[in-house]
């Protein structure tokens, strides 16, 4: 091709170049085509292998998720069953505890009633008889004699003991509940508390009064008694406010003081608080312990009227 070009035969040289390049181009095209086919085959094989890998991974993921889901379901079912069994046991224990507490309260009231009656009837009658005998003996002694003065002194001591016995009898179980009702009993009790402890009680009563059954009213009385005892022993307050409200469908008793108050979390498990809650449950009512804005403690007992009304609604 170069020799033809030097001899001036450029057309022949060009023709020779075209023939050589066409052959080489054809060979190159054939090689490229073969390589493209091989590349396509390799890509298809790679896609198939990758698809197989994805399928295996997907199956493994599905198996893992299925096993995890089955494990979670079985564990949940076991926990639900265990929790139900535990809650059932707790409910049974709570019911047994409530029944036991109610039986203890009933036994306590029965015992206190018996002791109160024995003090009032037996010991009270004995002290009355002793007082009568002393008075009779004093009448048979000469006026102004030392024996008459001593008999009078002993008679006064016997009368003082009789008054204390009657007061103790009423404190153990107020028979006034059956005789004078809840209102009359509270009037007597407030006077007794003020005389014995020095606590000043502001008593407020509102609403249209209805007769309270003595067997039910004793629980209201005990809640009031425990609340005022807490005021005297723990609050440090010198005054307390008691509100008795006769509602159309309920009876509310509220005891409030502005003393030191108490730890509500710790008090929840105290014997006094537990006893008050049990008595409220016995009446079908509720009891709340709150801290008023002025400080101290407010005890609010609410019982439905049909639970304490002597004649029903």
Domain boundaries, the chain: 176-308
The pLDDT of residue 212 is above 70: yes
Supply the pTM of this predicted model: 0.62
- Mean per-residue pLDDT for 66-76? 91
pLDDT grade for 269, boundaries at 50, 70 and 90:
low
User: Is the pLDDT reported for residue 175 higher than 90?
Assistant: no
pLDDT confidence band for 264 (50 / 70 / 90): low
pLDDT (0 to 100) of residue 201: 93
Place of tokens 């003393």: 259
Distance CA 203, CA 201 (A): 6
Q: 6: how many CB neighbours lie within 10 A of its CB?
A: 9
Instruction: Please state which of the ranges 6-10, 150-154, 185-189 shows the lowest mean pLDDT.
Output: 6-10
Per mean pLDDT, which range of 129-138, 233-242, 251-260 is the poorest?
Answer: 129-138
Q: What percent of the chain is predicted at pLDDT more than 90?
A: 17
pLDDT for 286: 92
Expressed in angstroms, the distance from the first to the final Cα of the chain is 133
| pLDDT the model gives residue 233 | 86
Give dist(CA 182, CA 159) in Å, integer.
28
CA distance 151 to 173: 33
Query: Above 70 in pLDDT, residue 263?
Result: no
Strand order in the sheet with 297-304: 200-207, 239-246, 250-257, 297-304, 286-290
Place of tokens 């730890």: 263
Q: Hey, how many other C-beta atoms are within 10 angstroms of the C-beta on 50?
A: 10
pLDDT score for 310: 65
CATH second-level architecture of 176-308?
2-Layer Sandwich (3.30)
Q: Where are the alpha helices (DSSP H) in the chain?
A: 2-6, 10-118, 124-139, 146-172, 176-179, 181-197, 214-230, 264-267, 271-282, 305-308
The radius of gyration of the chain from alpha carbons, rounded to an integer in Å, stands at: 50
pLDDT at 203 over 90: yes
Q: Token pair of 310, please?
A: 């002597």
At 287, is the pLDDT very low, low, confident or very high (cuts 50, 70, 90)?
very high
Cα distances from 66 to residues 52, 56, 59, 72, 91, in angstroms, run 21, 15, 10, 10, 37
Residue 34 has pLDDT above 90, yes or no: no
DSSP 77-109: HHHHHHHHHHHHHHHHHHHHHHHHHHHHHHHHH
The percentage of residues in the chain with a pLDDT greater than 70, rounded to a whole number, is 94
What is the rounded CA–CA span in Å between residue 49 and residue 44? Answer: 9
> In the prediction, which pLDDT does 25 show?
78
- Distance in angstroms (rounded) separating the CA atoms of residues 131 and 155: 5
Computed over every residue of the chain, the mean pLDDT equals 83
Tokens 């020779």 locate to 16
């Amino acid at each position: 091709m170069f020799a033809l070009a030097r001899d001036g035969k450029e057309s022949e040289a060009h023709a020779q170049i075209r023939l050589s390049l066409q052959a080489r181009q054809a060979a190159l095209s054939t090689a490229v085509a073969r390589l493209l086919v091989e590349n396509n085959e390799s890509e298809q094989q790679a896609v198939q292998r990758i698809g197989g890998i994805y399928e295996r991974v997907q199956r493994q993921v599905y198996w893992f998720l299925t096993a995890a889901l089955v494990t979670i379901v079985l564990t949940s079912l076991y926990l639900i069953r265990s929790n139900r069994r535990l809650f059932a046991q707790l409910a049974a224990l709570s019911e047994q505890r409530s029944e036991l507490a109610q039986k203890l309260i009933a036994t306590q009231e029965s015992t206190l009633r018996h002791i109160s009656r024995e003090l009032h009837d037996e010991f009270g009658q004995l002290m009355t008889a002793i007082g009568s005998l002393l008075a009779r003996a004093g009448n048979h002694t000469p006026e102004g004699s030392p024996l008459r003065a001593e008999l009078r002194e002993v008679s006064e001591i016997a009368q003082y003991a009789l008054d204390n016995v009657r007061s103790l009898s009423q404190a153990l179980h107020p028979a006034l509940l059956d005789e004078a009702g809840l209102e009359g009993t509270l009037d007597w009790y407030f006077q007794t508390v003020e005389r014995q402890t020095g606590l000043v009680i502001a008593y407020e009563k509102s609403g249209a009064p209805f007769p309270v059954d003595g067997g039910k009213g004793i629980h209201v009385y005990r809640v009031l008694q425990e609340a005022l005892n807490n005021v005297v022993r723990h609050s440090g307050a010198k005054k307390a406010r008691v509100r008795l409200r006769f509602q159309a469908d309920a009876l509310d008793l509220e005891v409030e003081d502005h003393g030191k108050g108490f730890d509500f979390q710790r008090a929840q498990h105290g014997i006094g608080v537990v006893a008050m809650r049990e008595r409220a449950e016995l009446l079908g009512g509720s009891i709340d312990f709150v801290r008023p804005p002025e400080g101290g403690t407010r005890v609010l007992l609410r019982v439905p009227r049909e639970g304490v009304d002597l004649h029903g609604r």
